[in-house]
Amino acid sequence: MTTPPTSTPSSTTSLRFKRLLLTGAAGGLGRVLRPRLKAYCDVLRLSDLADLGTAAAGEELSQVALQDGAAVHGLLEGVDAVVHLGGVSVEAAFDPILQANIVGTYNLYEAARKHGVRRVLFASSNHVTGFYRQDEVLGTDAAPRPDGLYGVSKAFGENLARFYFDRYGIETACLRIGSSFAEPKDRRMLATWMSFDDLERLVVSCLTAPLVGYSVVYGMSNNRTQWWDNTKARHLGYVPQDSSEPFRAAVEARQAPLDYNDPAVLYQGGAFVRTGPFE
């Protein structure tokens, strides 16, 4: 009798890629995925605006600004699939968001189209739907209610992905990531947290699912409190294994009393709903 494979991260897969591109590789999640994605490809091409250090075996490094169309075109050459994490990752002034998240994501899809790249994992964000209340549970087809310009830019990326699938057949999994950090930092993150191991599970599921088409999935662990329902993304095969629950007691012990007049307490986007404006 054979033992069924377990869903541990860093498991090998029969579906190996020749060359994967990871953008935003110098960022928080990029640094988490850099050593882990190597198991799934022969060559891992890493890109960022920031310095990427020294290339390890099987790595290619490319320091590129996403708003530089010609450079992004070169970045996509010879690539099988893209994990697109690069861009402004918090609420900010409109111009950097415009350059990195709007112009940059357009450049990425145009280059993917020209080079025949068939699959993109787009790091979207829970802030696409941040203005829903914390007493609502959303499906992956909930209409966008962005909580700032950052959330608007991620909604743009999701729409762009939809268009490139409908017109050109480029598949995208839009990962509406909640809060992926080493630990949940506050009460809100008890609902929104995704462990790094679950992040890897999510990314690998979306890279290796036979058919992705255009899909939206919330990136969260198997937390006790949840505001999102991934039922309609079950075809991706993402099964989170971790939970924020072991952190609950410590988080609640340091949590200030809740002020229900504070929009950050009412809305899913938390403090993002009242951040800015930035000049």
Positions marked catalytic: 150
Instruction: Map residues 67-96 to x or -, x wherever contact with ligand NAI holds by CB under 6 A.
Output: x-----------------xxxxx-------
Which residue's CB is nearer to ligand 15L, number 178 or number 205?
178
Interaction of residue 53 with ligand NAI, rule CB under 6 A: no
CB of 118 to ligand 15L, least distance (A): 26
Determine the Cα angle at 139 with ends 165 and 227, to 5°.
Answer: 130
Which residue's CB is nearer to ligand NAI, number 27 or number 270?
27
Which residue's CB is nearer to ligand NAI, number 119 or number 188?
188
What are the residues facing 44 on neighbouring strands? 20, 59
Which of ligand 15L, ligand NAI, none interacts with 212 (beta carbon under 5 to 8 A by kind)?
Answer: none
What are the residues facing 62 on neighbouring strands? 47
Q: Which residues ranging from 91 to 130 are in contact with ligand NAI (CB under 6 A)?
A: 99-100, 104, 123, 125
Angle, helices 149-168/104-115, rounded to nearest 10 degrees: 20
Residue 105 corresponds to which tokens in the numbers above? 């994501």
Which residue's CB is nearer to ligand 15L, number 17 or number 272?
272
Closest to 25 (Cα-Cα) out of 3, 57, 67, 55: 55
Binding site for ligand 15L (CB under 6 A): 89-90, 125-127, 179, 192
Closest to 225 (Cα-Cα) out of 262, 202, 200, 193: 193
Interaction of residue 65 with ligand NAI, rule CB under 6 A: yes
CB of 179 to ligand 15L, least distance (A): 3
Which of ligand NAI, ligand 15L, none interacts with 76 (beta carbon under 5 to 8 A by kind)?
Answer: none
Q: Which residues ranging from 4 to 33 are in contact with ligand NAI (CB under 6 A)?
A: 24, 26-30
Which residue's CB is nearer to ligand 15L, number 208 or number 223?
223
Which of ligand NAI, ligand 15L, none interacts with 192 (beta carbon under 5 to 8 A by kind)?
Answer: ligand 15L
Q: Which residues ranging from 211 to 250 are in contact with ligand NAI (CB under 6 A)?
A: none
Angle, helices 196-208/28-37, rounded to nearest 10 degrees: 60
Q: What is the 8-class DSSP label of residue 116?
A: T
Closest to 201 (Cα-Cα) out of 87, 32, 45, 52: 32
Which of ligand NAI, ligand 15L, none interacts with 29 (beta carbon under 5 to 8 A by kind)?
Answer: ligand NAI
Residue 249 corresponds to which tokens in the numbers above? 């007691």
Q: Say if CB 239 and CB 7 are below 8 A apart.
A: yes
Which residue's CB is nearer to ligand 15L, number 56 or number 90?
90
Q: What is the DSSP string of 213-241?
A: SEEEEEE--S-SS-SEE-GGGGGG-----
What is the distance between the alpha carbons of residues 168 and 141, in angstroms, rounded to a whole number? 22
Site residues (CB under 6 A) for ligand NAI?
A: 24, 26-30, 48-50, 65-67, 85-89, 99-100, 104, 123, 125, 177, 179-180
